Amino acid sequence: MTRPTAIQKILSLNDTGETGGHQSGILIPRREEILHFFPELSKKEKNPRVMITFTDDLQQQWMFSYIYYNNRFYGGTRNEFRLTRMTRYMGQHNLKAGDVLTLRRDIDSIYTVEHTVVHERTTSSDKVLKLGDNWKVVSI
pLDDT of residue 16: 87
How does pLDDT run along the chain (140 residues), one tens digit per residue?
Answer: 678 899 999 999 888 888 877 676 899 999 999 999 999 999 889 999 999 999 999 999 999 999 999 999 888 888 999 999 998 999 999 999 999 999 999 989 899 999 999 866 555 555 554 555 667 777 66
pLDDT of residue 25: 83
pLDDT of residue 119: 60
pLDDT of residue 95: 93
> Residue 80 to residues 56, 70, 116: CA-CA distances in angstroms?
26, 6, 26
Write the DSSP assignment of the chain as a string of letters: -PPPSEEEEEPPHHHHTTT----SSEEEP--HHHHTTSPP--TTSSS-EEEEEEE-TTS-EEEEEEEEE-GGGGTSS--EEEEES-HHHHHHTT--TT-EEEEEE-TT--EEEEEE--PPP--GGG-----S--EEE---
pLDDT of residue 113: 97
Q: Which amino acid is at 39?
A: P
Distance separating alpha carbons of residues 99 and 52, to the nearest angstrom: 22
> Residue 37 to residues 8, 59, 92, 134: CA-CA distances in angstroms?
11, 21, 25, 16
- The hierarchical CATH code for the domain 6-137 is 2.40.330.10
